[in-house]
Homo-oligomer: A and B are copies of this chain.
């Protein structure tokens, strides 16, 4: 099973699944338990409450569904909308594309607003749609906060601004898969109606939990939604919340204890410090890319993502070869370019439980790989640029001062 063994640590820089911290691995290293004993509901209660904090919500209702981000998407859509409902959805990369594909297959009526890959959501088009929708035929805006394929972060506060400007009642459904717990995210302040993430992203757990927060307005919508669903039906959860037993079907005991540990670590570090750390890692990565003389796939600074950087390579290089080589020679896992940008970009994920020296090791590796594949990089240049920034900005570790 470890037939691809290589000495030393695997350097995991895909934008998910990400590195799991040791305390979380420890917390999950346990036998199963009876989930109907008093212990598991007591634990669940703390989780459902505390997990709201990662959304910055006090009014939301949370769901921990044994599924992935794809299932969390489906849960968000099928609980709040009915077949045929009109949705405005932004296509800006592979993950927004997949979500739109799901929206269409679930029989919603999707206004696809497309941007070039590397650009953010076109909010001008949104504005014109809202401005002309006096009849409120648009039932929901679906937007990916951070498009993992291109490293683009959308401005959610502006979406809320537009909805408010036109007093439009559409629901705001947000994929926060590669943003929540890493980027600034404000569920209540931005009036997000459903936000969701997956456990294997910035929460730094294994895959297996779709984590969803629904606003009071989303819960109201869920009462009249006509979409067919059972496994993803929030009503089943709410029924068991009322009973105090919490689970309509068997949860993963290990992930519940893992989530407890992951939240404890996040709160110990402080959510704002976590976000600041991601900001440092993102900035440092972009400085390295610049020093290498390469372009960021993200076309404007306003969209730069602090969780993943998609790096454009010159046309004479196949970016997939960079990823293969990283794995085969340096025990480094980088993200492939997907779909439209396949072969053109490779991606450095810098999210989750990660620190600066880990990133610098990765950047040093990328430099060697670039040289391997014939790009005339100056070795050390990216590391130097990143270090110069980091050395001025890394704070002391609070617990060690």
Give the interface of A toward B (CB within 8 A): 1-12, 14, 16-23, 25-39, 42-43, 66-71, 74, 83, 101-102, 105-107, 198, 200, 206-208, 227-228, 230-233, 248-255, 257, 260-261, 265, 268-269, 274, 277, 327-333, 335-336, 353-362, 364-365, 367-368, 371-372, 378-381, 383-385, 387-388, 390-391, 394-397, 399-401
Contacts and interface: CB of A to CB of B under 8 A. Distances in A.
B8 A32 contact: no
A260 B206 CA distance: 17
A250 B354 contact: no
A65 to B, nearest CB: 9
Given A36-B14, A69-B250, A269 B206 contact: no
Copies of this chain held together in the complex = 4
Contacts of A399: 3-6
A17 B4 contact: no
Nearest to A386: B364
Contact of A250 (B30, B207, B260, B379): B207
Contact of A368 (B4, B21, B367, B391): B391
A259 to B, nearest CB: 11
A157 B233 CA distance: 34
A230 B106 contact: yes
B400 A327 contact: yes
Given A4-B37, A26-B27, 9 more contacts: A1-B43, A4-B39, A11-B357, A11-B358, A37-B333, A69-B249, A207-B253, A357-B362, A372-B391
Given A250-B68, A328-B396, A34 B12 contact: yes
A350 to B, nearest CB: 11
A380 B384 CA distance: 4
A113 to B, nearest CB: 21
A312 to B, nearest CB: 20
Contact of A8 (B71, B206, B353, B391): B353
Given A23-B5, A32-B206, A357 B331 contact: yes
24 contacts: A4-B39, A4-B42, A5-B265, A7-B277, A8-B353, A9-B19, A9-B355, A10-B33, A11-B358, A26-B29, A32-B207, A36-B336, A66-B68, A66-B71, A68-B249, A198-B250, A329-B394, A330-B355, A360-B364, A360-B383, A361-B364, A371-B391, A379-B387, A383-B384
